[in-house]
Chains A and B, each alone.
Chain A
Amino acid sequence: MDFNDSAEEAAYRAQVKIWLEANAPKAHPGSDPEGSDSLAASRAWQAKKAAAGYACITWPKEWGGQGGTPLQSVIFGQEEAGYPIPGNPFQIGLGMCVPTVMNFADEATKQRFAGPAIRGEEIWCQLFSEPSGGSDVAAARTKAERASDGSGDWIINGQKVWTTGAQFSDFGIVIVRTDPDVPKHKGLTMFWIDMRDPAVEVKPIHQMSGGSGFNEVFFTDLRIKDSQRLGGIGDGWKVSLVTLMNERLAVGGATGMGWSQFMEVARQTPGMDGGPALKDSSLREKLADWYVQAEGLKHTRNRTMTALSRGQTPGPESSIGKIVSAVQMQDLANEALEMLDQYGIINDVDLAPQHGGFQSSVMFAPGLRIAGGTDEILKNIIAERVLGLPGDIRVDKDVAFKDMPTGR
């Protein structure tokens, strides 16, 4: 038992370090993560990585990847994180959308999209959630109907929601209802679409936290070719499972405000008896719990990496990450607010400790507990896929979609 790289891993890491030192940015690109300067910087960095073979390391060579191992990808990520690299708006496309295209599209389509996506020239988004169904993706109501002119084209109408990056995406994959007369899972079909089509309207969602990282996307008579279909008609659910397989890995749980930032602030904040808050025993006990959870997650990741390093499939333990980290983010940040006492309500970045990081976390945590699988859905997944407990009884299983009861 050790934390050392194998000989091959060490050689790869050394090669990565040399390349990063010569090529990675040394200064932060700009403070606005969604600004156009930042997007240009992201594209430039992605293109550099692609040219050197460090974008899409694990993709097969025939897709334009490197045919590398998952651990090589992890190693690159670890080393890259040591530099002030720009944000990564390509993650959803390269992690979920484009692999779906590569699995289900025709040869010409694959040839058309892989290269520009890898180089960061084109950005993709994933259009699954709808106002009528977040956890229940298969309840999608957005519909695609054949055009009446006999062309074989499809006409899409409806609305998607919580679409990350739609505002700067060039393409997207969308799951739509093509047959409302069969049960919900059987009447769905997947397509790729051009997000720049005028029939697609993107409206940012104003989050409760104040920011706008997600969007609503409206389709009004969006006409697409049948050749944009990914998989068979009515096979959309099966295709979406391929897409979602990667989501829980792609949605990271890391946040800036952890136990060490809490400890730093607790050292400088007066506690109940006038000494530092860090001496308050109730805070110390919670701090210990958060440390133990954070270490538990860190070493769970180390176990996952070990399995990858040995060429094995990681065990189910990797599924616990977001449940633990999202809940901790909310609890830890709130405890920090309470430690600051009356001052805790201030979220002015110039006045609040850690530039208001705890206040931001309190306001963002409700979203993190929902995004990429709610706490409740993730527990269902652990119960069903890891522990082998039965699935929920589904009252809509044998009901035609059009006859399903609906509420809000």
Chain B
Amino acid sequence: MNFDFSDDQKFLKDEARKFLQANCPASRVRKVLEDDSMAYDADLWKSVAAQGWLGAAIPEAHGGLGLGHLELCVIAEELGRVVAPIPFASTVYMLAEAIMLAGSDAQKATYLPRIAAGEIIGCLATSEGPGAVSAATVSASVEGGKLSGVKIPVTDGDIADVALVLAKEGGQAGLYLVDMAGVTREALKTLDPTRDAARLTFSGARAERLGGAGEGLNLLEQILDRAAILLAFEQTGGADRSLEMAKEYALERYAFGRTIASYQAIKHKLADMYVKNELARSNAYYGAWALNTDASELPIAASAARIAASEAFWFASKENIQTHGGIGFTWQMDCHFYYRRSRQLSLVAGAPRVWKERLVSHLERRNAAA
């Protein structure tokens, strides 16, 4: 049994933590949160690129480090711990993963080296309005290589150089790589301003299909499965940090003559957080194994990882505020960074209820096949 990260991977994780402690303190996150003109932390983005993290899982032949997905998982967890205000998920978990999964040789050669070098930011544009994305919600269309339609919201859409867009061509859904030059972008007000989002209006933008015709929804599921596992590590990192914050505060705060950490109401709350966080971590680990080995269990593992991590981060981030009491509800405290990010991460790749339905559908198929 070898169900853990290797010493090298743990070393990378420690190094990533040190690097982010130095380069992504809460004050930097706050700056992006409060400064409307800052869509993301461009300096942090550059230094993360210089670390090679953007290309951690991209093969060396395409300019990456060629490490693997387990390495990307440990980096993701550390980014989640510090609620890093950079378009890492959009660019790496979604765009790069999509191209590695389904891109032609030419597409790989065009995009992957530039992603690894930090030269392009990506985004995934699937939603067009309220409700879960499905074939029925797609109005955007491609004709003669030109894309028209509106996507809202698109995380990192206001800063992206390349969009991966779900659109229909001849009535069939496909995924299209679109150069963002000339696309109309309007920044949106969102719950988590440390990760901006936009409304994108495409009016005849040049669109190049990724993968086969009519393969869009199928391919999107595969991309989201991969992204879900990496996002689960970010969520687990955020959930763990939320628990730590609650614990640190509870040990320092006095009420009725003793620390609030000595009251069972608080102790049991923190124990509940711990249990959810460990369930999330164990499911994320299984997802990491499935992602790294491209196992047939990947869709089920991804669903479980996403559901467990979404639940853990939501619970930990809200109960962290509760543990802090009144001060936790103030703008000056950092608790709301995690609460906001927990909402962003739970919704960005489809809400947990959608994933629960997907999970049970997969289980039904697996049991029928058995």
> How many angstroms between the C-alpha atoms of A309 and B1 in the bound complex?
7
Contact of A303 among B282, B353, B360, B364 (CB under 8 A): B282
Question: Which bucket holds chain B's interface residue count?
Answer: 35 or more
Q: What does the 1/0 interface line of A351-379 toward B look like (CB < 8 Å)?
A: 00000000000000000000000001011
The answer to whether A297 and B279 have CB atoms under 8 Å apart is: yes
Indicate whether B357 reaches chain A with its CB closer than 8 angstroms. yes
- By DSSP majority rule, is chain A's interface helix, strand, loop, or mixed? helix
Indicate whether B275 reaches chain A with its CB closer than 8 angstroms. yes
Indicate whether A61 reaches chain B with its CB closer than 8 angstroms. no
The answer to whether B278 and A317 have CB atoms under 8 Å apart is: yes
Chain A residue nearest to B266 (CB atoms) is: A389
Q: What does the 1/0 interface line of A283-300 toward B look like (CB < 8 Å)?
A: 011011101110111111
Indicate whether A58 reaches chain B with its CB closer than 8 angstroms. no
The answer to whether B1 and A300 have CB atoms under 8 Å apart is: no
Q: What does the 1/0 interface line of A311-340 toward B look like (CB < 8 Å)?
A: 000000100100110000000000000000
The answer to whether B259 and A390 have CB atoms under 8 Å apart is: yes
The answer to whether B2 and A383 have CB atoms under 8 Å apart is: no
The answer to whether A289 and B247 have CB atoms under 8 Å apart is: no
Question: Which bucket holds chain A's interface residue count?
Answer: 35 or more
> How many angstroms between the C-alpha atoms of A384 and B268 in the bound complex?
10
> How many angstroms between the C-alpha atoms of A305 and B367 in the bound complex?
27
The answer to whether A3 and B3 have CB atoms under 8 Å apart is: yes
The answer to whether B258 and A320 have CB atoms under 8 Å apart is: no
The answer to whether A292 and B307 have CB atoms under 8 Å apart is: yes
Contact flag A384-B267 (CB < 8 Å), given A1-B288, A3-B2, A260-B367: yes
The answer to whether B279 and A2 have CB atoms under 8 Å apart is: no
The answer to whether A379 and B292 have CB atoms under 8 Å apart is: no
Indicate whether A396 reaches chain B with its CB closer than 8 angstroms. no
> How many angstroms between the C-alpha atoms of A172 and B274 in the bound complex?
36
Query: In B291-305, which residues have CB < 8 Å from any A CB?
Result: 292-293, 303-304
- By DSSP majority rule, is chain B's interface helix, strand, loop, or mixed? helix
A329: shortest Cβ distance to chain B, in Å? Answer: 15
The answer to whether A320 and B274 have CB atoms under 8 Å apart is: yes
Query: In B340-370, which residues have CB < 8 Å from any A CB?
Result: 353, 355-357, 359-360, 363-364, 367
Q: What does the 1/0 interface line of B248-259 toward A look like (CB < 8 Å)?
A: 001100000011
Interface centre among A289, A308, A323, A379 (most CB of B within 10 A): A379
The answer to whether B289 and A292 have CB atoms under 8 Å apart is: no
The answer to whether B357 and A293 have CB atoms under 8 Å apart is: no
A100: shortest Cβ distance to chain B, in Å? Answer: 28
Contact flag A285-B270 (CB < 8 Å), given A292-B304, A306-B3: no
The answer to whether A288 and B307 have CB atoms under 8 Å apart is: yes
The answer to whether A387 and B270 have CB atoms under 8 Å apart is: yes
Q: What does the 1/0 interface line of B261-274 toward A look like (CB < 8 Å)?
A: 11010111011101
Give the chain A neighbours of B271 by CB distance below 8 A.
Answer: 378-380, 382-383, 386-387
Contact of B2 among A4, A281, A393 (CB under 8 A): A4
> How many angstroms between the C-alpha atoms of A382 and B311 in the bound complex?
20
Give the chain B neighbours of A323 by CB distance below 8 A.
Answer: 275
Indicate whether A136 reaches chain B with its CB closer than 8 angstroms. no
Interface centre among A288, A307, A310, A380 (most CB of B within 10 A): A288
The answer to whether A295 and B286 have CB atoms under 8 Å apart is: yes
> How many angstroms between the C-alpha atoms of A278 and B279 in the bound complex?
25
The answer to whether A5 and B1 have CB atoms under 8 Å apart is: yes
The answer to whether A295 and B304 have CB atoms under 8 Å apart is: yes
Query: In B107-160, which residues have CB < 8 Å from any A CB?
Result: none
Indicate whether A302 reaches chain B with its CB closer than 8 angstroms. yes
Contact flag A376-B258 (CB < 8 Å), given A285-B353, A306-B3: no
Chain B: residues with CB nearer than 8 A to chain A?
1-6, 70, 243, 247, 250-251, 258-259, 261-262, 264, 266-268, 270-272, 274-275, 278-283, 285-286, 288-289, 292-293, 303-304, 307-308, 311, 353, 355-357, 359-360, 363-364, 367
Count how many pairs of residues, one from A and one from B, have CB atoms less than 8 Å apart in the complex: 160
17 examples of A-B residue contacts, CB within 8 angstroms: A1-B70, A1-B292, A2-B293, A4-B2, A287-B360, A288-B360, A292-B307, A292-B308, A292-B311, A295-B286, A300-B282, A303-B282, A306-B1, A308-B1, A320-B279, A324-B279, A393-B262
B352: shortest Cβ distance to chain A, in Å? Answer: 9
Indicate whether A140 reaches chain B with its CB closer than 8 angstroms. no
> How many angstroms between the C-alpha atoms of A392 and B367 in the bound complex?
48
Q: A292-B311, A296-B280 are in contact. List 11 more A-B contacts (CB 8 A).
A: A2-B289, A4-B1, A278-B360, A278-B364, A284-B360, A289-B311, A302-B282, A303-B282, A306-B2, A320-B275, A390-B251
Chain B residue nearest to A382 (CB atoms) is: B271
The answer to whether A295 and B258 have CB atoms under 8 Å apart is: no
Which 6 A-B pairs give the minimum distances between C-beta atoms? Answer: A296-B279, A383-B267, A288-B356, A299-B282, A379-B271, A302-B3
Give the chain A neighbours of B353 by CB distance below 8 A.
Answer: 285
Give the chain A neighbours of B303 by CB distance below 8 A.
Answer: 288
Give the chain A neighbours of B262 by CB distance below 8 A.
Answer: 389-393
Interface centre among B3, B5, B250, B359 (most CB of A within 10 A): B3
> How many angstroms between the C-alpha atoms of A281 and B363 in the bound complex?
15
B196: shortest Cβ distance to chain A, in Å? Answer: 31
Q: What does the 1/0 interface line of A98-140 toward B look like (CB < 8 Å)?
A: 0000000000000000000000000000000000000000000
Query: In A235-286, which residues have CB < 8 Å from any B CB?
Result: 260, 263-264, 278, 281, 284-285
Give the chain A neighbours of B288 by CB distance below 8 A.
Answer: 1
A171: shortest Cβ distance to chain B, in Å? Answer: 36
Contact of B285 among A287, A288, A303, A310 (CB under 8 A): A303
The answer to whether A390 and B308 have CB atoms under 8 Å apart is: no
Chain B residue nearest to A259 (CB atoms) is: B363
Give the chain A neighbours of B1 by CB distance below 8 A.
Answer: 3-5, 9, 71, 302, 305-306, 308-309
The answer to whether B274 and A386 have CB atoms under 8 Å apart is: yes
> How many angstroms between the C-alpha atoms of A293 and B303 in the bound complex?
12
The answer to whether A1 and B267 have CB atoms under 8 Å apart is: no
> How many angstroms between the C-alpha atoms of A308 and B4 in the bound complex?
12
Give the chain B neighbours of A278 by CB distance below 8 A.
Answer: 360, 364
The answer to whether B270 and A1 have CB atoms under 8 Å apart is: no
Give the chain A neighbours of B243 by CB distance below 8 A.
Answer: 387
The answer to whether B279 and A288 have CB atoms under 8 Å apart is: no
Contact flag A296-B247 (CB < 8 Å), given A1-B4, A288-B359, A389-B270: no
